[in-house]
Homo-oligomer: A and B are copies of this chain.
């Protein structure tokens, strides 16, 4: 840790801080410059947190040398983590496409959509039963009935399935029906929920918050791993910027950056990341090209009847076309599309 003192700091202040650093078992360093005094602390700087040096009135700034996370770090765990989602490997060589409706609306809707995406090559089914909606007057999902229908559709199509958990109280029931639990963007810093997901034995798909830096996302993942669940899959889904032509700004820079910083797999959600169905196919290909491990795509058997997010949903025919376009790009990057895995339950 590097500590820069204010110009008005006295030698006594420097001495006091150096002693506190030494008392914690780190090696203190004194670097008196011409305009500022700089102090250093060599060793595991995480123990320095308890000194609250940022709060010291004579400290101008503090720079950490080490990342604030440990378990998610690629430095500690250099090899890619592969997460098994109901028999489908996420994070290995095959490129995994997860597809399905934004919300489960009816048995026919979800079964029909599930079969359609399976036949086009999707490896996992997605669908929301509990829906976080900006307005209290919007459709909030079918709840537990939605979970049952999702499971039924997944089984009918021979796919594993993932769905979102909105609250600590839902983890148990969602765990019963789904093969992976999704933590949505609005909950990325719902730390109580992250801890609960850390207690689950199911894989967790953790979506980046709309205003989360990559480092915030990694710290959120650290919450889950710190509770004992290392089966975490990250997901870039767009951040909020000044651009209004798209619903969000899909930050694909985050993909290669995350791959360098962590061993966890990283997906991309171009449906939420753009909000416009006509951009989903090109951004899916871009995601594959920059190193993502897979996609999360909204497909509805009839997008104009979708009760949520229809503007960004693909029809089954559009999804089939996307898969045909995607395959050669993924292959060119050494990532064959994941084969459909017939699930036996």
Residues of A that sit less than 8 Å from B by CB: 2, 4, 7, 29, 31-36, 38, 40, 42-44, 46, 49, 52, 54-57, 63, 65-66, 68-69, 75, 132-138, 140, 166-169, 186-187, 189-193, 209-211, 213-216, 219, 222-223, 226, 239-246, 249-257, 260, 273-274, 276, 278-279, 282-283, 285-291, 303-307, 310-311, 313, 328-329, 331-333
In the bound complex, residues from chain B placing their C-beta under 8 Å from that of A305 are 52, 55
Between A and B, 25 residue pairs with Cβ closer than 8 Å are A4-B65, A33-B42, A35-B75, A36-B66, A49-B137, A52-B304, A54-B310, A55-B311, A56-B304, A68-B137, A136-B191, A166-B192, A167-B190, A169-B169, A190-B190, A211-B240, A239-B242, A241-B242, A249-B253, A250-B252, A253-B279, A256-B279, A282-B291, A289-B289, A329-B333
Q: Is the CB of A211 within 8 A of B211?
A: yes
A282 / chain B contacts, CB cutoff of 8 Å:
255-256, 289-291
Contact A31 B40, CB 8 Å, known A240-B242, A252-B250, A252-B286: yes
Q: Contacts A242-B240, A329-B289, A332-B329 hold; do A313 and B214 have CB atoms under 8 A apart?
A: no
Q: Which 9 A-B pairs have the closest CB atoms?
A: A55-B310, A211-B211, A289-B289, A328-B332, A286-B290, A285-B289, A286-B286, A282-B290, A256-B282
Set of chain B residues within 8 Å of A222, measured between Cβ atoms = 135-136
B54 touching A311, Cβ below 8 Å? yes
